[in-house]
Structure 1
């Protein structure tokens, strides 16, 4: 996580943040300040020409579209477009062939207060440029991960808690929670080799301090641990469909289980809920499951399996974007599961 300082012209900050979070360019509200050469120069210096962008592999196609639609807007309002044309030409000269991975930025701030902020927390994740890569969808951030993180910031239930996440993917949920809430410890887990490698990379590069960095882990050995602010974080390999009782001798007591967008097929419901039950049987208070409403049959099957396993569940209040700029459609549901 890094602290990203916003520009001195507060009216442009919403445009700057929209750029970093890759808001649909057609929906960006171009401020009057972009009509002046001074405003354009300032906007460029905090977006496509910023050190943050030149240092990382930020989506070239998005940068290009951002500048193209800005020129169209300036033409519409009959403003000078010379600076933007020059920036667009420079961007095209350094455009590269699409890579396997790129860097994705996640500004974390109270969205309604953008006009009074001078800086925001910025989580930067390395993610796949493809939705499916190496036979998995776990190399990208999905909607429910952002919704679960947003919910955790808005609630008080994570204070001083130790949280373990099943299927952490590239790590956004845990990095947001560990950097923006008073949780005590966050344990990232996954079972896919490629996902674990990327997960470790992302957690390590967003940590304030490294405690353990294991290069050749075996079995369930911890891959990494560090500190994000005051929260201790760990990355572990955990194959939850084959969860063994001995794992509870290796990790400390877990207060909460978090999981987001891991339910996509009803055939994994039983092993998934068996893993949750094992944690509940070993002292975990509750599991929070976040999922986007993509397939009603899959969700119906999940609820039926919960009833069949005699696990209690309740629907939590639907969360809306407040600290992360995720799409609110389709709706993301959150279920709390207890014994």
Structure 2
């Protein structure tokens, strides 16, 4: 379902959606048609082309060719239905895409309020290699928005992310919230390989040993770049000692509750992490997820209560920074472990 942005913001609305490779029906095509109907000028279409297919980020980190072809075909349809002069640049861009070869990897890019961006290499298949972790899910975008609105929760602190997937939330936090250290984690080796590639793609160096995170920091100055790790973490096999080695002060997870069977494994990890108290203070825990099945949500809260983990639903945040469609409610729970 498309949104209807104000006319001056139309190219920017196309830009944000195209960079993130959002579904084409979510683009404001109707607003574009109205604008083109009342103008003989091709400048608007040229502006949209420059902010999408020809955007420097897309040239450097291209989206799927199939996606780009579909987008250009739709843009050309709108152009041909309008009274404006033919725009050679549109057809040249399509010809270039038609002659290129599709790759099993594509990119999505997200613009940050700082003017910086996060680019991710992802699988062109939604479920690949037996895992759903090779794409970015909406709750990851929602949690990143909340983090950017609440940077104090992460600044100069050690953050452990459970089920990082391709890494969007953590990379946004690393670029916008100045954590001292950030530990990405996932259990699937294929996801971990993709994740490590995305961390490097966004200009961060990877540490290989947990000991690098444990050096005492006497300075309260904010480091321009956090210490970053990406570790394989099987929730059922990891020990309390292994988790405590990271000394996490903040724990986050996004969209890890898509399957009721995962709930007990997640709660088991949270119980182990509750034993990792720095200065007698339990880590702060934030879990974001899309409520696809209300029964799964209720089961999670019920299982939390059984083991004495309290929870508080955080208020919805104010600013939507990233393009996604909230077909279902997305919530963030702050847990008291």
Shift of 1:316: 1.1
Residue 116 of structure 2 aligns to a residue whose secondary structure is strand
Question: What does the per-residue CA deviation read over 1:173-195, in whole Å, with 9 as the maximum and x for residues that have no partner?
Answer: 10001101132221101111111
Counting matched residue pairs gives 311
Residue 234 of structure 1 aligns to a residue whose secondary structure is strand
Shift of 1:279: 1.0
| Cα distance in 1 for residues equivalent to 2:201 and 2:238 | 29
Question: Is residue 44 from structure 1 mapped to residue 38 from structure 2 by the alignment?
Answer: no
| Cα distance in 2 for residues equivalent to 1:39 and 1:76 | 15
Corresponding position of 1:274: 268
Determine if contact 1:34/1:40 at 8 Å carries over to the other structure: no
Question: Is residue 104 from structure 1 mapped to residue 118 from structure 2 by the alignment?
Answer: no
CA 35–243 in structure 1, closer or farther in 2 if over 3 Å, else same = farther
- Choose which of 90, 95, 103 in structure 1 pairs with 2:95: 90
Corresponding position of 1:127: 122
In structure 1, stretches of 5+ residues that fail to align are: 1-8, 110-118, 215-220
Determine if contact 1:64/1:88 at 8 Å carries over to the other structure: no
| Cα distance in 2 for residues equivalent to 1:35 and 1:177 | 44
TM-score of the pair, normalised by structure 1: 0.81
Residue 146 of structure 2 aligns to a residue whose secondary structure is helix
Corresponding position of 2:314: 316
In structure 2, stretches of 5+ residues that fail to align are: 1-7, 214-221
CA 320–64 in structure 1, closer or farther in 2 if over 3 Å, else same = farther
CA 272–18 in structure 1, closer or farther in 2 if over 3 Å, else same = closer
TM-score of the pair, normalised by structure 2: 0.82
Corresponding position of 1:79: 84
Corresponding position of 2:14: 15
| Cα distance in 2 for residues equivalent to 1:149 and 1:311 | 24
| Cα distance in 2 for residues equivalent to 1:84 and 1:141 | 31
- Choose which of 56, 60, 69 in structure 2 pairs with 1:55: 60
Question: What does the per-residue CA deviation read over 1:114-145, in whole Å, with 9 as the maximum and x for residues that have no partner?
Answer: xxxxx832211111111211111011111111
